[in-house]
Structure 1
Amino acid sequence: MTPTTVALSEASPAKLFEIIALQGRQAPPAVSEALSKRGDCHKQPVRRPQIVVYPDLRAFDNTSIAPAWAGIQYGIDANGAVRDVTIVARHGEAAFADTAAASVAESRFLSGSPRTACYAVFSASARATPARPRPELKAYKRPGDTCEVTREALNIPEAKMYPPAYAARKVPGWAILRFDVAPWGAVGNIEVLASQPSDAFGAAARNLVANARPNPPASGYRGCLVPVIYAIPDAVEGDS
């Protein structure tokens, strides 16, 4: 899977909600700003809440490593009533989003100028689930593989991007990758052979290896196997 880049100004509201839901307080402020620009909810003077109704979402906590979340959009009329409540994006059980939306609809604000495109994001707590044991690399060797090289010679970047959805939930993971190295040092034919507890770790590790700058081998390498381990609190790369 090849990652794509989209400017925040062009990102869909659903994608912006997803980033906030998955990254929580780690989400870049620019994401919230991009959502705010889609309406006038944050226009001064900001409408002050009179009654805030919080949903009881405890039944959805600790049920999955990829828990439910919902992005809700709504408006406020001049009298302070919440209008046009819409579930813009959600993940997981529909009941989670429905419960969150119902609580937003019951909230009230002090009177003032009408507002549109206000938003709220709700996320359930993740269940802490360790990744399955990592198989030995020899289980993935293929006939004809000629890669006998040290990790240092591959020059794989030390810093790794931890999959945001799992970093916020403190879920560890790993991935095993296979790739070739051309005589001029270019990395190619990258394969994610296995990853746990989700494909997100494989995608992150693939991007990491794609940025490797190996020392150019005389005749190239074929079938290099690399384990990439993501651990809390630090991402540590391991060898097998």
Structure 2
Amino acid sequence: MVAAALAFLVLAAAPPVPHSPVSTGPAERGLATWMPGEVRCDGGAAVGKPIRRPLGTIGWRGSNSRQSVTLRFDIDGSGRPISITREDLRYVPNDDIAPSLAASRFPAKARSACSVTYTAQIEPFAAAPVADLVSYSVTPLSGRLPQQGWDRIQEAGNCGQAPRPQPLMRAYPDFDKLPATPGVRDWSMIAYDTDASGKPLNVRVQTGTGNKALDQASVKAVQESRFTGGARTGCSYPYWRAPEVMAAPPMPDKNAFKSGETCSTGREWTTAPVLRFPAAYNRRRIEGWAVVRYDVAPWGAVGNASVLAAEPSDDFGRQAVQMIQSAKAAASQEGSNGCVDRVRFVIKPDVAGADTDNAQPIVTGD
């Protein structure tokens, strides 16, 4: 078996100062929110809490801006979406649609033949909901938020005027002690004023995801911070908490998928598989697995790779196929047919100090 584990930082990284000047960009751009429609299973509507919305992106406003994506899936007995697939694989400028569904929950009842369609709605930055703009700034999938977005976020006041206040001492919550939400990065945008000495006043939650513990800890952190610039009004700063890891659904027993008779155990790779965790699922800390079948030519090339099973979405299957196809086996007299490997994508939250985007996978044997 080939197993891939991605190690990354448990604590949230220090947020960037939200009022840094950025390019305004073309006026036709806006904030794209991908809104899920009705969820239907077995021909009827699925009743339950609203499913997670995908993260926002920056899009172009115009006659062709209302793109849509349909996902098909099942729901297991715990209410978790599984076997998520896209109806088609055309390019969509948002890689968080399937992961957001994987992070959702339905009532604890098994359902099958479910589907939901997401439609993009693009609004001018000056009119977009403040919470959606802050959410984008915390996870900027399409690059930095343009200045029009920051102008919309910022409350009335003089905090954005030059020279802008700089932190003399920036306090942070103890993120590791705060509750996390599975598959969701919680955030809290804190608004505040400062007195002539740079001490924060009137500290309050401007908007957030509703994590009360994070809200309280973030308010306390701003109250303990100190700034330059004298008396100011309308300042703001975001804090966020990394998602709680979502373990993969149960993996089938090894005997469920057996390799062909010509495939040897403990294969020798002259070029090892390039192990990569699907970035969109790592962002939400969602684990997964895949079972793949492939052939090996006598000269060691891997071919005819296919997915036998993958959960919670077929994205893990596609990633596993890419990994196997990147490898090369030792040359043999006859090659091998119908080889089966099990690939686990496991996030290791106990490894401190690792960068989320750059941490290397760890390879272990089965």
Q: What's the TM-score, normalizing by structure 1?
A: 0.51
2:261 counterpart (139, 146, 153): 146
Aligned residues with identical type, % of pairs: 28
Structure 1 equivalent of residue 300 of structure 2: 185
SS of the residue aligned with 2:129? Answer: helix
Alignment map for 1:127-146 (pairs within 5 Å): 128-141=245-258, 145-146=260-261
Please give the secondary structure, in 1, of the residue aligned with 2:307: strand
| Alignment match, 2:25 | 39
The alpha-carbon distance between structure 1 residues 237 and 228, as it changes in their structure 2 partners (threshold 3 A), is farther
Distance 1:148 1:184 in 2: 15
Residue 312 (structure 2) pairs with residue 207 (structure 1): no
On the 8 A contact 1:63/1:127 being kept in 2, the answer is: no
Alignment check: 8 A CA contact 2:263 2:338 kept? no
Query: Aligned letter for 1:129?
Result: M
Superposed displacement of residue 130, structure 1: 1.9
What is the CA-CA distance between 1:198 and the residue it aligns to? Answer: 1.3
Q: Is the CA contact (8 Å cut-off) linking 1:156 and 1:209 kept in structure 2?
A: no
Q: 1:228/1:63 Cα in 2 relative to 1: closer, same or farther (>3 Å)? A: farther
* 1:161 and 2:276 matched: yes
Letter of the 1:214 counterpart: A
What RMSD in Å do the two structures reach over aligned CA positions?
Answer: 4.4
Q: Which residue of 2 aligns with 1:102?
A: 129
Find 1:69's aligned residue among 55, 58, 62.
55
Other-structure match for 2:285: 170
Distance change >3 Å, CA 106–CA 176, structure 1 → 2: same
Which structure has the highest helix share of the two?
A: 1
Q: Look up the equivalent residue of 1:71 and give its one-letter code.
A: T
Deviation at 1:69, TM superposition (A): 1.3
What is the CA-CA distance between 1:225 and the residue it aligns to?
A: 0.6
Offset at 1:138? 2.4
Distance 1:38 1:207, change over 3 A: farther
Shift in CA distance, 63/70, structure 1 to aligned 2, threshold 3 Å:
same
Q: How far, CA to CA, are the matches of 1:190 and 1:161 in structure 2? A: 17
Q: 1:201 is paired with a residue of what secondary structure? A: helix
Report 1:51-130 matches (<5 A).
67-72=53-58, 91=97, 101-103=128-130, 106-107=152-153, 125=185, 128-130=245-247
Q: Distance in 2 between matches of 1:156 and 1:226?
A: 16
Decide whether the 8 Å contact of 1:130 with 1:172 is kept in 2: yes
Q: Deviations over 1:195-217 (max 9, x none)?
A: 11111111111111001110112
Q: Which runs of 5+ in 1 are unaligned?
A: 1-24, 26-35, 42-61, 75-85, 112-122
CA offset at residue 181 of structure 1?
0.8
Q: 1:214 to 1:158 in 2, by over 3 A?
A: closer
- Aligned letter for 1:140? F
The normalised TM-score by structure 2 is 0.35
- Kindly state the Cα deviation for residue 141 of structure 1 after the two structures are TM-superposed: 2.9
Higher relative contact order (CA 8 A, sep 6+): 2
**Aligned residues of 1:229 and 1:235 also touching (Cα < 8 A):** no
Q: Which residue of 2 aligns with 1:51?
A: none
SS at match of 2:322: helix
How many Å apart are 1:239 and its aligned residue? 5.2
How far residue 154 of structure 1 moved from its aligned partner, in angstroms, is 3.9
* Contact 1:67-1:124 at 8 Å conserved across structures: no
Secondary structure, aligned partner of 1:160: coil
For structure 2, the 5+ residue unaligned runs are 1-12, 14-21, 28-48, 68-92, 101-117, 131-148, 162-182, 186-242, 349-359
Equivalents in 2 of 1:149, 1:67: separation in Å? 45
Which residue does the alignment assign to 1:225?
Answer: 340
CA distance in 1, matches of 2:128, 2:329: 51
Give the count of matched residue pairs. Answer: 161
Q: Is the 8 A contact 2:184 2:284 kept in 1?
A: no
For the 8 Å contact 2:273–2:327, the answer to whether it is kept is no
Distance 1:174 1:214, change over 3 A: same
For the residues of structure 1 that align with 2:128 and 2:66, how far apart are their CA atoms? 7
